[in-house]
Structure 1
């Protein structure tokens, strides 16, 4: 599990989605959490040098964890099926997080089938300083389903059934946000309600019509 996390970190860094020492990854292993250390470079993680937290967020082993660990815990508490979380500062998704949201439940409209298939609705979470536990509490309190969110002026955070699934979804978030920025103010065709129902029903992703 730790080796897979390291491999995914290197892949995301190679794609240019984790500049410098930004971003953090975690996997849930029973009642403990393995998470990247504070200030870690995703390109050069060490499977023997990951932080270990208990299910309440208590640091039990390894180096100090990323300050964003409350956000990871919030997504795990929201979804018992979530086994991994990816948080990035990828360029296009972070730019989209600086714009007004498309709706109250999704910062980004239903532009592509793959966004619906791999991500689903993705709310914008109000700005807070990195590591602010109040932001994690706000994310956890939202009363509708989602697996990914944009943190205002900050970047995307995505949960998945595995670290690879979460990374694939994070890549899709970056791609749909790039399309959103490319389209600009032009009127775009969005997927219809029937098309959304077909995709989300087939792939089990959340979208409230």
Structure 2
């Protein structure tokens, strides 16, 4: 009996899925808002299937077909894709207040409002001011000198060195020393502290969260 119910379950849910799709499309057609051009999408998943394994190339190909302003749907989330400098200027500078709010995601970005404006003011005046940036000049000079020393030492020993790996570490060390007074890759008895933690947080923030797209 349980096996028969398991077999019939997909067939019983199929009519509800089709009904939902037709209702969704019908309501979308009745919408009076003029939206940017959008490639055809599949119910429920939207345009996820068109991103492919290289999303940046897929978005470039789609924008060449549908224009500099393109609307995609990732699950239930509408996504506006901007691929021209003129439109980017219009959105980020001229119409900034309309696009400042970030969607509520697992990462927890603050929506545009009094709190957002206050945090921005504190960041600009206290953390990113000219005086504050200049106060960390000695950190930048020390880290750059250490990087040059590593490269010079590798050249003297005729060893190969991957500069592409060293430059991100340099950037991370600068930020870590300015914010936490500790280096990103600081080693103490072969144990690394801030580096792995920062990598883990960055990885978690960049991970795909299904509930952000499928309610």
- Answer 1 or 2: which has greater strand percent: 1
Please identify the structure whose Cα radius of gyration is greater. Answer: 2
Normalised to the residue count of structure 1, the TM-score between the two structures is 0.21
- Quick one: higher RCO (CA 8 Å, sep 6+), 1 or 2? 1
Normalised to the residue count of structure 2, the TM-score between the two structures is 0.20
